[in-house]
Amino acid sequence: MEHEGAHGQAVLPVASWEGNFFGAGWQPGASGLESTEVVSGRKLLTVGVPDATQTAETAARAAEAQREWWSLPAESRAEVLRRAAGLLTREREELAGWLVAESGAVWSKARWELGGGAAELAEAAELALLDTAVEAESTVPGRVAGAHRVPLGVVGVITPWNMPVLLATRSVGPALAMGNAVLLKPDPNTPVSGGMLLAHVLREAGVPDGVFAVLPGGAETAGAIIDAPEVAGVSFTGSTRAGREVGRRAGAGLKKCSLELGGNNPFLVTEDAEPKSAAEAGAWGSFIHSGQLCIGIGRHLVHRSVADDYLHALVERAESLVVSDPHDPNTQVGPIINRTQHDRITSIVSTSVEAGARKLTSREAAAPYYPPTVLTDVPYGSPAFAEEIFGPVAAVTIVDHESEAVRLANASEYGLAAAVRSGSVERGRAIAQRLRAAMVHIGDQTVNSEPRLPFGGFGTSGNGGGFGGVASVETFSTWRTTTVTEPGRPFVF
């Protein structure tokens, strides 16, 4: 059946997606993958999963289509991406419903994410028009030399479930803008909101057949994409564990690889910070989307002199948030994506309490929900301090001085994001210089990203800022050097 939009018009041709994947148009998969609603577990749609032969055929078709796509004027590619951004905006309510059902996002998060996805596509349109040519002085008389960026060819994009639209568009948009073809593999939890919706939008916007494909599935599909000889670059967003395997496999094929992985992000609150406003920021950074964000706040490092006021305000906020079905427009904290993740959060909290942490919140909730939880006196080395929780848990460690906060902030294998709340910008900047994080937000919290700013991490958080503005240009293109020598010079043989 087709879903209807806000004014009764048919918007999403869902019936044509049943049992299919998107290659050169909708094609039946060799097997099926069920998209299910997080809260109820009911089936939403069965999408097609390509086998190895179908994936190979799609990659070969993409390589052919890419040459024609790259030959188009840059303005033509930009216009297609602008139209896609407009469609994502215009159909936002219908698309948001899929994010709510399939990923458990609350309505405000779903709408925000779709707006972010549209912004990513609009920014990508501008990248298509970027003049990357540079002149270089040659040492050879009569020679003129220069270099410019050219597409990699075919790019594989592998995305997670927690921000399925935004994390797809931030790779797919720039890759298309630079003249590549793209093979997108969405997470098995979100095959529709992470893939089919974007296929619909890009096709309607005018992306030619073969240039963009959505290949649902699990690790087997991802491996087939990475191994395809036509694929020259891979963009992966996901866990550090999976990222290591993606990097190893791409490296074996000498393929360009951008990895944006996990995080355990510190939030530093100094003694001259205003504790209540800092706690509001801390609550947002730990509880938004049930804490299921790689850039969410993992560790709250709070100066002892403001700790009581900070904890009081943080607990008050945690106890007041509405935890319920994401379909309810009043819900602020929705479900955990699946039982495995719910059990993991539960284990991290209970083990950390056994290690000496104190739980200050009293709320309980049955799966798939997990209540916003505040822990204090979290010991160094306990799971709530050392691991990426990926749930609505604010783990607070009290410190006695700034240098201790910096030392603990850097005592992690991760290096994605950090934030500093201080009484002065100057002090915040000074602290930021000492933090081992690829992104530091002063006077804010860690959940921040903008399409034109580089995004990525150090250490086990990834291999650098591979997304955003000029960083996307570097990720999805390569240099081509051109020389012109006139007249032709003589050679001795």
- DSSP-derived letter for residue 252 is H
DSSP H/E element including 111: helix 107-128
> Does residue 216 sit in helix, strand or coil?
coil
Determine phi and psi for 303, rounding to 5 degrees. Answer: -65, 140
Taking only Cα atoms into account, the Rg of the chain, rounded to an integer number of angstroms, comes to 24
Which residues are CB-contacts of 377 (< 8 A; sequence separation ≥ 6)? 356, 357, 358, 396, 397, 398
Q: Are the C-beta atoms of residues 416 and 294 closer than 8 Å to each other?
A: yes
Nearest-angstrom CA–CA distance, 327 and 97: 8
The angle subtended at Cα 203 by Cα 201 and Cα 208, nearest 5°, is: 145
3-state secondary structure of 423: coil
Amino acid at 425: V
* Alpha-helical regions (H) of 237-382: 240-252, 275-287, 304-320, 339-354
- H-helix or E-strand containing 145? strand 143-151
Q: What are phi and psi for residue 386, nearest 5 degrees?
A: -90, -25
Closest CA to 145 of 474, 473, 492, 479: 479
Active site residues: 260, 294
Residue 478 pairs in a beta bridge with 150
